[in-house]
Amino acid sequence: MKSLEVLNLYPQHKGTLSSLLESRTHKNPEKECLLFENKRSCSWKEFYAWVAGLSHFLLKKQIQKGARIVTILPNSDLSVALYFAINDRGAINVPLNPDLTADEYTYLLNHVDASLVVVSEDLKEKISKTVSSSKILVVDDELYTLRAQSLSNLAQAEDTGLILYTSGTTGFPKGVMHSQKSSVLAGEAFLERMDLQPMDRILCILPLFHINALFYSMMGAFAAGATLIINQKFSASKFWSLTCETKATQVNIIAAIGNILAQRKRSEWRSDHTLKKIYGAPVSAQISEVFTNEFKVPLILEGYGMTEIPGALNNQINGKSKLGTMGVEALHPDPQIKLTEVKIIDEEENEIPQGETGELIVKTPLLMQGYYKDPEQTRNSFTKEGWFKTGDYVLKDAEGFYVFSSRKKDIIRKKGENISGAEIDRIISTCPHVLEVATIGVASQLGEEEILVAVVKEEISPLTEEDIRNWCEQKLPRHKWPRYVTFVKELPHTPTQRVAKFKLKKDPQILALAKDFH
């Protein structure tokens, strides 16, 4: 079926998560809705009753409309049910990474002023240093058994339903606010992007404190009335067996996962897997070839989005597609809904001609409502005409595809040249035995900066610093060759799994341990 035909299978909803859930449950109450690691399964009717039970439980906890509910949990079916229950009460879900430090929790919990913090038992002690015990709810068996007959439907479509904290590149984390309508529209847009059908089985291996897992995998499955398969965390060694056991047909990955799977021993791959399509960004030619030719996954599709503007661009599954690009403006199944408008501008916010590189700016109904408690940062994120400034340099090529150049703040200034750290990252990431790489600028004795690359290599690998340098000499112009190369066991990441280059820059050991090729 075409995407709009899939949406039209179901009764109209009101743009809230509760009305979406009611719509899909009404159509197929006995169909499998949710599966957790091939251990626990529930139908749409059973999931509806569970969400309703959790919503009534929150009412007994005196959770009011607009209250912030922090969830610090590993991926599970409970994480999904809580997301819907919190939104049903008109409250706001604030999912946080379970692996943050005590100091990070202190800042975030104080900033968001949570009415309730839902945690696993192992985090109770760490959280209790910041939040009073009366506000802490430790997950127990009771939360899995709560049931009720009806949802409360307290929310409106424009009510804030989600705050996601994103580190960006500098400063304190920013709380990105999204409405319930944004969440629902993003799911419908992902249905269009990946041509999701009710019989699809969507595997979620990315964390549910990330926009990708929440707005694409989870909401895409609910928009399509498909089956959502939740995995607690990604395991490279078990990935192929998991896809077979759960009969998954679609999965989202990030670049690091694609690279890891491509370098795993082929004995782990299963020829009887049912995966038909993968969404990931960015997708290199090497990764595309491995997945389509070796792993026999018919389609791997690349797109672009941010926590603030989820799913803004993508290559089209049944239309315009070009490997190595961000794609074109994203579409909604309903042609009457204009999902994305984009421009490319110069430093004075003037639109520039096609083929030239500038900053990407976006208008979309999926746009965030702003940064929580940060009106100044919110204002600074928009042009004078109200377009969101992505901070990404791109160009639009002759065929109409958008091509990523670099982050605005990921520019290395060397001898008068602006050099993209992301470009060097992409080149070195194609080198054999490289798992992950981060290119940064470090201070030069002559002023401006020198190029340093920090590389994570395979555990058992013959790779040397000279090999990395030689690879760059073969692939890059001379002025982009790194002066410094260092191997590290791991790179720092933001809660949304971007490499935290600003943390690398602050590490005094990163330069001291590097090999200097001058």
φ/ψ of 447, rounded to 5, equals 90, 170
Higher-pLDDT residue of 90 and 101 is: 90
* Angle subtended by helix axes 77-88 and 17-27, to nearest 10: 120
pLDDT confidence bin for 169, thresholds 50/70/90: very low
Condensed to tens digits (0 to 9), the pLDDT of residues 190-225 reads: 999 999 999 999 999 999 999 999 999 999 999 999
Mean pLDDT value of segment 228-250: 96
Position 443 confidence tier, pLDDT thresholds 50, 70, 90: confident
Burial 153-187 (b: 16+ CB within 10 A, else e): bbbebebbbbbbbbbbbeeebbbbbbbbbbbbbbb
Tell me the residue type at 217.
S
pLDDT mean over 235-242? 96
pLDDT surpassing 70 at residue 342: yes
Contact 138, 119 (CB under 8 A): yes
Residue 416: the pLDDT is: 64
* Higher pLDDT among residues 348 and 201, named by residue: 201
Q: What pLDDT is attached to residue 477? A: 79
Q: What is the pLDDT of residue 498?
A: 73
Residue 238 has pLDDT above 70, yes or no: yes
Confidence at 496, pLDDT banded by 50, 70, 90: low
Ranking 14-28, 103-117, 196-210 by mean pLDDT, the lowest is 103-117
Q: What does the alpha-carbon distance between residue 239 and residue 236 come to, in Å, rounded to a whole number?
A: 5
Q: What is the pLDDT of residue 446?
A: 66
Element (H, E) at 118: strand 116-119
pLDDT at 501: 85
pLDDT tens digits for range 70-96: 999 999 999 999 999 999 999 999 999
pLDDT band at 505 (very low <50, low <70, confident <90, very high): confident
> Which one has a higher pLDDT value, 100 or 306?
306
- Which run of H or of E encompasses 509? helix 508-512
Tokens of 329: 């403006």
Long-range contacts from 210-213, C-beta under 8 angstroms, 24+ separation: 210/164, 210/495, 210/496, 210/497, 211/164, 211/305, 211/306, 211/307, 211/310, 211/496, 212/252, 212/254, 213/75, 213/252
Lowest mean pLDDT among 61-65, 74-78, 215-219, 414-418: 414-418
Q: What are phi and psi of 350, to 5 degrees?
A: -95, 135
Which tens digits make up the pLDDT trace of 275-297? 999 998 778 788 899 999 999 99
Least confident of 168-172, 239-243, 255-259, 443-447: 168-172
User: Mind giving me the DSSP string for 20-58?
Assistant: HHHHHHHH-TTSEEEEETTTEEEEHHHHHHHHHHHHHHH
**Burial (CB count within 10 angstroms: exposed 0-12, middle 13-18, buried 19+), residue 293:** exposed
Q: Collapsing DSSP states into helix, strand and coil, what is residue 2?
A: coil
The pLDDT tens digits for 258-281 are 888 998 999 999 999 999 999 987
For the purposes of burial, counting CB atoms within 10 Å of the CB of 51, is it exposed (0-12), middle (13-18) or buried (19 or more)?
A: buried
Q: What is the pTM of this model?
A: 0.84
Alpha helices, H only, 355-410? 375-380
Average pLDDT over residues 101-121: 91
- How far apart are the C-alpha atoms of 431 and 462, rounded to whole Å? 12
Which neighbouring-strand residues pair with 484? 452, 516
Residue spans of beta strands (DSSP E) within 330-483 = 341-345, 358-363, 370-371, 388-396, 402-407, 411-414, 417-420, 434-443, 449-457
The pLDDT assigned to 170 comes to: 44
- In this structure, of 52-61, 86-95, 353-362, 422-431, the range with the lowest mean pLDDT score is 422-431
Q: Is pLDDT above 70 for 495? A: no
pLDDT at 168: 46
**Helical spans, DSSP H, in 395-444:** 421-429
**DSSP character for 64?**
P
Note the helical H segments in 375-439. 375-380, 421-429
**SS3 of residue 144 by DSSP:** helix
| Other beta carbons within 10 Å of 402 | 21
pLDDT at 171: 54
Q: Contact at 8 Å (CB) between 154 and 88?
A: yes
Of 14 and 257, the one with more pLDDT? 14
C-beta separation of 96 from 165 below 8 A: yes
Torsion of Cα atoms, 431 then 240 then 98 then 59, to 10°: 140
Average pLDDT score over the chain: 93
279 contacts 252 by C-beta, under 8 angstroms: yes
Alpha helices in 159-218 (DSSP H): 180-194, 211
Q: What is the mean pLDDT of residues 232-253?
A: 96
Average confidence (pLDDT) over 383-410: 90
Judge contact between 107 and 61, C-beta under 8 A. Answer: no
Structural domains in the chain plus CATH codes:
416-516 (3.30.300.30)
Q: Which helix (H) or strand (E) holds 176?
A: strand 174-179
Work out the widest C-alpha separation in the chain, in whole angstroms.
71
pLDDT at res. 173: 83
Instruction: Give the C-alpha separation, 475 to 458, whole Å.
Output: 21
